[in-house]
């Protein structure tokens, strides 16, 4: 290899490229200072950076996604600690499990700072942190899983209580906290704990009782108190907030909002296809479905396979309605694909079944509303025959005994009968109905019953 001279074209190119990179790096550093960007990882270590994450409101999948994103950023920027300001009455079990897993796997020191309440699912998030600090008068616990059945609240089955208790106990073990106290927050059948709870009661710890029994590191009055306990009072504080997109996604992925979007989108498309013909209502239905799937895709709660399954299922159902007569494997496959997409979106069969139950309940309400309002709003006029068929207009009644002569006659089907079809009897073709069994085209049949204009046939089997 020969060295490249600075006077050669290649040498001048490398010098120019190096100068350009230097200018870019200087400009980037200058502009970053002007914009107040987050310090580099090395600066974060030297300054002792601390991130504060608000955990408030309902524990849901959108909040879980936000927490996981912030923990990855804290690791990437090598921050000294992450403080979770917690004030929540709980929320979704699945979201709390995701947050617990992220906290236990994080390489950054995590601190749960309870400002008011850390109940139910929020208690699991708190226990999963390396350290716990509580404000005076705050509380933590009361984590028995429940089921919402319409407007009623029911206790979850024993297997769910056992599973959620295991989540609490495993998190307590990982953080070297009393396992029995953690389990008592979920399961009322654990033996009594003297001075704290009787058997049959759910444990809720106040700040003082948590400190007394080793479940809390200290009682402090502010974040500054937490920083002093961590010896990080001079650290650079980074307060985080969800992006506007995460706020919208968190709202869209709320189970009640998701169910409402799906139900409205479904009925808009049904009415558009069967009543009005394609127009504004159809586009509105598509927007509802776009919001339904888009929010879950943004929050990484579902992938494009859910959208693909739903689209395939919808196409199969449309083919069954408008193309393929009867109801068979195509319709069943369409329903199965749509149900599978809903299970993926809602994160499990149990949650999906509950969501489907709410969708069905809302659909019943909308059906009743359409039944009562339809005639008044003239929604179904296109299906109503408004002209009177009078004899003056040239209409004549059909002879009710015109087809009696066909009784016991034999013929051949010229189309499949399932149950309605066409058969040739004698020299003429007639609309016929099978007596229940499917009859293929070209099969011999006999007329077994005639009721006015209704001709019932049965296949002749040799």
Is the whole-model pTM more than 0.95?
no
Confidence band (pLDDT; 50, 70, 90) for 400? low
Phi, psi of 199 (to 5 degrees): -65, 135
Q: How confident is the model at residue 150 (pLDDT cuts 50, 70, 90)?
A: very low
Indicate whether 50 pLDDT > 60: yes
What are the structural domains, with CATH classification, of the chain?
40-242 (3.90.226.10), 245-382 (no CATH), 391-459 (2.40.50.140)
Report the mean per-residue pLDDT for the chain: 79
Confidence at residue 24, expressed as pLDDT on a 0 to 100 scale: 38
Handedness of CA 435, 437, 442, 445 (dihedral sign): negative
User: 319 and 330 in contact (C-beta within 8 Å)?
Assistant: yes
pLDDT at 399: 64
Chain-centroid distance of CA 159 in Å reads 23
For residue 219, name the pLDDT band (cuts at 50, 70, 90): very high
pLDDT at 37 over 60: no
Please state the rounded mean pLDDT for residues 417-424. 88
Residues 185-205 have a mean pLDDT of 89
For 197, residues 6+ apart whose C-beta sits below 8 A from its C-beta are 184, 203
Higher pLDDT, 443 or 372: 443
Would you say residue 290 has pLDDT above 70?
yes
Q: What percent of the chain has pLDDT over 70?
A: 77
Taking the C-alpha atoms of residue 256 and residue 450, their distance in angstroms, rounded to an integer, is 54
Query: Residue 251 contacts by C-beta under 8 Å, 6 or more apart in sequence?
Result: 62, 257, 295
Tell me which residue of 140, 130, 133 sits closest to 71, measured CA to CA. 130
114-128, 132-146, 382-396 — which one is most confidently predicted on average?
114-128
CB 83 within 8 A of CB 51: yes
Q: Is the pLDDT of residue 103 over 70?
A: yes
Q: Give residue-wise pLDDT tens across range 293-322.
A: 877 776 655 567 888 888 888 888 878 777
Mean pLDDT along residues 337-360 = 77
Least confident range of 35-49, 156-170, 226-240, 245-259: 35-49
Residue 300's pLDDT is: 57
* The pLDDT of residue 325: 64
At residue 80 the predicted structure's pLDDT band, cuts being 50, 70 and 90, is very high
> Average of pLDDT values for 429-457?
88
> What pLDDT, on a 0 to 100 scale, did the predictor assign at position 254?
74
Q: How far apart are CA 133 and CA 54, in angstroms?
A: 15
Confidence class for position 101, pLDDT limits 50, 70, 90: very high
Q: Which of 362-366, 380-384, 425-429 has the highest mean pLDDT?
A: 425-429
Lowest mean pLDDT among 34-38, 68-72, 135-139: 34-38
CA distance 431 to 412: 12
440/22: higher pLDDT? 440
């Amino acid at each position: 290899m020969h060295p490249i001279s600075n006077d050669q074209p290649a040498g001048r190119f490398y010098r120019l490229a190096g100068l350009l990179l230097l200018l870019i790096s200087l400009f980037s550093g200058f502009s970053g200072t002007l914009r107040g960007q987050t310090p580099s990882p090395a600066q974060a270590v030297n300054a002792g950076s601390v991130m504060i994450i608000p955990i408030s409101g309902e524990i849901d999948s959108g909040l879980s996604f936000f927490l996981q994103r912030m923990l990855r950023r804290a690791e990437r920027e090598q921050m000294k600690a992450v403080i979770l300001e917690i004030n929540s009455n709980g929320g979704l079990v699945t979201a709390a499990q995701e947050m617990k897993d992220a906290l236990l796997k994080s390489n950054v020191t995590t601190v749960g700072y309870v400002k008011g309440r850390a109940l139910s699912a929020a208690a699991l998030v708190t226990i999963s942190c390396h350290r716990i600090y509580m404000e005076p008068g705050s509380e933590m616990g009361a984590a028995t899983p429940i089921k919402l059945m319409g407007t009623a609240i029911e206790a979850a089955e024993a297997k769910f209580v056992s599973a959620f208790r295991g989540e609490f106990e495993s998190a307590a073990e990982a953080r070297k906290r009393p396992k029995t106290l953690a389990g008592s927050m979920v399961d009322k059948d654990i033996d009594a704990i003297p001075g704290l709870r009787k058997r049959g009661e759910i444990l809720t710890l106040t700040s003082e009782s948590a400190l007394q029994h080793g479940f809390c590191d200290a009682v402090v009055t502010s974040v500054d108190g937490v920083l002093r306990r961590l010896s990080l009072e001079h650290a650079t504080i980074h307060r985080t907030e969800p992006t506007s997109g995460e706020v919208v996604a968190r709202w869209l992925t709320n189970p009640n909002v998701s169910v409402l979007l799906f139900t409205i989108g479904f009925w808009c498309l049904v009415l558009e296809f069967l009543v009005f013909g394609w127009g504004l209502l159809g586009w509105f239905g598509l927007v509802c479905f776009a919001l339904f799937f888009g929010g879950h895709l943004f929050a990484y709660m579902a992938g494009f396979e859910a959208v693909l399954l739903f689209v395939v299922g919808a196409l199969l159902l449309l083919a069954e309605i408008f193309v393929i007569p009867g109801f068979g494997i195509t319709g069943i496959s369409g329903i199965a694909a749509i149900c599978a997409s809903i299970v993926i979106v809602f994160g499990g069969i149990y949650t999906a079944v509950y969501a489907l139950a709410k969708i069905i309940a809302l659909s019943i309400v909308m059906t009743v509303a359409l039944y009562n309002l339809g005639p008044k709003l003239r929604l179904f006029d296109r299906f109503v025959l408004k002209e009177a068929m009078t004899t003056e207009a040239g209409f004549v009644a059909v002879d009710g005994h015109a087809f009696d002569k066909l009784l016991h006659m034999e013929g051949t089907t010229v189309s499949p009968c399932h149950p309605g079809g066409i058969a040739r009897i004698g020299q003429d073709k007639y609309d016929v109905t099978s007596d229940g069994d499917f009859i293929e085209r070209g099969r011999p049949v006999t007329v077994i019953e005639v009721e006015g204009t209704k001709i019932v046939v049965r296949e002749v089997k040799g």
